[in-house]
Amino acid sequence: MYIEKIGGVDVDERTAERLQRIAWWDWPRERLDAALADFRTLDAAAFAEKYDG
């Protein structure tokens, strides 16, 4: 399994691709505020899965 670091977090290749696709770091402030609870509580894979699509 390929592991990559994104934002200091180890993620697998699928999660890395999803995070790159959703590019949450480019979201407007309002969208970040709306996703803040998920950002704090979900792991990277779950967050990517929820917001990719």
Quote the Cα angle for 4-34-46, to 5°: 35
pLDDT score recorded for residue 2: 63
d(Cα 52, Cα 38) in Å, to the nearest integer?
13
Q: pTM of the entire structure?
A: 0.83
pLDDT score recorded for residue 3: 75
d(Cα 10, Cα 24) in Å, to the nearest integer?
17
Interval 5-22: pLDDT, tens = 777 778 898 999 999 999
**Cα 28 from chain centre:** 15
Q: Does the pLDDT value for residue 26 go beyond 70?
A: yes
